[in-house]
Structure formats: structure tokens, C-alpha cells
Structure 1
Amino acid sequence: MTNLVNPDGRWGFKNKRTPFFGYKAHASMDASGIVTSVQILSGNEHEGEHLPELLEQDVRKGHRFTSVVADKGYESIGNRNTIRNHGAKPEIPSRNAGILAKTRFRYRPRKDTFVCPGRKETSGKIPFKGGFLYHFSQTDCQNCPLKTACLGKKETRKRVYLSDRVRDSLQSQRSLRRALHDRKAIERTFGELKQWHGLRRARYRGKWRVAIQVYLTFLVLNAKRIVNLIQGRSSKPVPAS
């Protein structure tokens, strides 16, 4: 729906129960806490769909990165491939990673195998539809006392499918946890922007006017961060004067 007073604004959701009308500031940040690129999106646009554009902005500016950390909203095969094409590692939690915890088969990331309820490991894997199909030994399955409850009528051995994105996420869980912990810095940054710099509300009508407000606000924030880095201070938010 278009608002005649603010024609560029759109309805979006902060969460399932909290709608808002306006815009989104979509930003990337380096390890030092400096915001490197910013996009202005309408309220109904999904940030995850604009990740490739944000990375291209960083590349054009000469920024180099070895990994890209983002939350589940950015989780897609396209985004993962885009990050890899830039020579970086995607550090994005998978939406489906928790599903395996509810199954009877346990994945072992270090060995890249599954263990069944009968404590047998998979004997191999084959590529299958954007992932791998892991299979157990036919001999183990046929001699297993649990085969009646585990195998289908036409199955001679059990197979378990695991997509590439879930597999990547599980194999790098330890580093992913560290990366997501570091990612909280950008959440603190947005909290500072809203609390001390007035970015909770758009001051003007029209996307290009809002863009000026956002760019100037991030410019001030970066200036403060640079001063703190030069003086060796921590990254704690500093109230605006």
C-alpha cells in the first residue's frame, strides 16, 4: 500500500506482531566496528535479498573480507554462493540445522558421517540434489535388531539426506558461534543509532531525503568509532553531544 503523504514508505514488520511504516537501513560493518556500506530499503523489502548488492559496494570500495557473518534472515543457497564467489566463508546459521537434533540419526561433523540408533556409522555418501545422500552398510542394516522400525518395506539399507548449507553450518558450528557472538557488535551499533542519534524515526518524507539522514548519521557514528580506535578505547556506545 502506498501512502500519499510519504509515497516511498512501505509497511514492514520488526517481528511477527510489530508492524511499522517506513524504511530500513541495511548496513555492513568490518571487524573494527566501522560501517562500510549502507543501503536504504523500503519497509517491505527483505534485507537478505540485497546482500549481493551490499557486498558489491564493499568490493568496489576496495574492502577485503575473508568471511561474512549474518543472521538466519540471510540464509539461502544464493547468498552462500555469492559469498564464496568473493573468496569468503559464509558464517550464516541454517534454518534447518535444528531439525537433525529431532531425528534418531546423529551427525558427526569432524568425520562427516551419521551414526544410527544402533551405533553404526554411514559407510559412504553420494551427491544428491544440492547435498549428499549418506548410506549405511547393507550388511549392518540387515543384521540390525532395529531394522523393522527403521527400514521401509523396499529398503535394504538406510539412507540419510543432508543439504550442503546444513552440512556447512554443522561442520563450522564452533567458529559460527564465535562469529555470531562478534556479530552482536552491529546490533549494539543500531541500538546506539536509535538511542543517541535519532535513527529510530525518519525525519523527512521521501526515500532520498531519508537516505541523507541515514548517511549523515552513519558518518557521525564512524567518526566517533575512528576516534575511539585511535585513542584505544572500547566500542561502548557514546552519547551524542
Structure 2
Amino acid sequence: SICATCPVLSQCTESKNHQKMIQRHIWQDYLDVAEDLRHNHEIKEIYGKRKETIERVFADAKEKHGMRWTTLKGIKKLSMQAMLTFAALNLKKLASWTWKTPTIA
């Protein structure tokens, strides 16, 4: 094997058969692509807008609509609470758009 004659083998592995085993996660290729995209300038600009859009919605839900904690137990009850909360947020957004949009006579 190539490893057996490597001058830095002792720094790399202590394996008795002079091999280094590298295991990659089944989705590692996808993670590598995501990591490369994360450093892309265009993607950075798009990702930077998250704080103004989707992250803002979650922050409002948490701070203004009781999503920081819950007294409910169970996935069904928590799902219902989340759906009602985000439905209320959507209604607030719709009302805001309606009031800001001039009416056409």
C-alpha cells in the first residue's frame, strides 16, 4: 500500500497494517456541495436576506406570539398551535398589505 512507505505515516495513523481508513457519510457529497455554495458570493447575498424575511417571521412568532415555550404536550397539539400562530401571522401580513395598497376606484 502507498501508506506503508509514507514518511509521515506515524503522524497519520497508528494502524498495524499501515493503512488509514476514511469513512464518509452517505450524504457527504451533498454536504460538500452545500459547503461550496455557502461560500459563493451570490448565495451569500441571498442567504443574507433570510434575516429580513423568514428569520424575522420566526422571531416574531417566538417573541410576540408565544412560540418561545408551550404548555401543550404531543406533536398534534404543538402542530395545531404552530399552524394557528402562523395563520394569525399570515392574516396580519394580509391586513398590512391591504391597508398599504391604494384602492382602485
Structure 2 length as normaliser, TM-score?
A: 0.56
* One-letter amino acid of the structure 2 residue matched with residue 231 of structure 1: W
User: Which is strand-richer, 1 or 2?
Assistant: 1
Bigger Cα Rg: 2
* One-letter amino acid of the structure 2 residue matched with residue 77 of structure 1: Y
SS of 2:79's equivalent in the other structure is helix
User: Which is helix-richer, 1 or 2?
Assistant: 2
* One-letter amino acid of the structure 1 residue matched with residue 83 of structure 2: Y
Where structure 1 has 5 or more consecutive residues not aligned to the other structure, the ranges are 1-74, 81-91, 95-165, 234-241
Picking from 67, 70, 86, the partner of 1:218 is 86
Partner of 1:198: 66
Is 1:207 matched with 2:62?
A: no
In the TM superposition, 1:1-241 aligns within 5 A as: 77=30, 94=35, 166=36, 169=37, 173-184=40-51, 185-232=53-100
Q: List structure 1 segments (4+ residues) > 4 angstroms apart after TM superposition.
A: none
Q: Distance in 2 between matches of 1:203 and 1:189?
A: 22
Greater relative contact order (Cα < 8 A, sep 6+): 1
How large is the Cα RMSD of the aligned pairs? 2.7
Count of aligned pairs:
72
Where structure 2 has 5 or more consecutive residues not aligned to the other structure, the ranges are 1-27
Partner of 2:20: none
Q: Aligned residues: percent identity?
A: 25
* One-letter amino acid of the structure 1 residue matched with residue 85 of structure 2: T
Q: Distance in 1 between matches of 2:29 and 2:70?
A: 30
Q: Is contact 1:203-1:213 (8 Å) kept?
A: no
